[in-house]
Amino acid sequence: MEPVVVIADGSPRSEQAARWAAAHAELVDTGVETHRLGEHFRAQLVVVGHQDRTGNHVLSVVCGAGCDTVVVRGAHDARHGLHGRVTALVSGGVHDHHVLARAVDFAQTRGAALRVLHAAPLSVLRADLDEDHSWVLERTDELLAGYPHTAVLVRRQPYDAISRCVDTDLLVVGPGESHPCGSVTRAALHHAPCPVLVVHRPVQEEHRGIPSIPAPRRPVRTTV
């Protein structure tokens, strides 16, 4: 199995990334390698620490990675997985399947609950022109095939909804429609109060993927 790779630069945030990567590698029974930006390597997951406000260092890693990438940021409890929750941000787009698969993978590995979040602001023009977004969560139910989760529709801008995810250990997002990093993905990298996983590729067959496990309860939709 390919290793987890940490992009190191000697900063305190880089040390946080190394600790997060080591903990994750132990859970999935693989090794950890440390590389610097620009070096060539093979990895199942790249981990980098959040840097300055410009995010140039982080964006260069996330946008240039050939595999899924975790940006380690946020408060102590989130970085150490103490909330027991993984949140998947879905849009109704083509990347939702892969985002959900990876979210399930991480939730199952950590014994964490799965929350699916869709953020859609209300129309600023006319209420009667507002789009019905419930189909996004209905599609999520189908993709998860009975896997237990909570689905939440938030009528806010994505960056606002992301910043309120203070009770989650990992936010899972897609690359966005504007390859390689869309506006919502960038918002997550700048505003998330927890580590962010940017999904770049489908789950490999040897990894867990979405298990066919009957849900013990019906998913709950909440509008906030």
Residues 126-179: tens digit of each pLDDT:
555 557 788 888 999 999 988 999 999 998 899 999 999 999 999 999 987 655
In this prediction, residue 178 carries a pLDDT of 59
Q: Where are the domains of the chain?
A: 1-72, 75-196+203-224
Q: Is 99 helix (H, G, I), strand (E, B) or coil?
A: helix
Mean pLDDT within 106-122: 94
In this prediction, residue 66 carries a pLDDT of 79
In this prediction, residue 56 carries a pLDDT of 61
Distance, in Å, from the CA atom of 113 to the CA atom of 83, rounded to the nearest integer, reads 9
What tokens does 69 get?
């990438």
Q: Rounded to two decimals, what is the model's pTM?
A: 0.84
In this prediction, residue 175 carries a pLDDT of 86
The residue with greater pLDDT, 148 or 38, is 148
- CATH class of residue range 75-196+203-224: alpha beta
Place of tokens 């305190």: 12
The burial class, CB within 10 Å (0-12 / 13-18 / 19+), for 93 is: middle
Examine the pLDDT at 38 and tell me if it is beyond 90: no
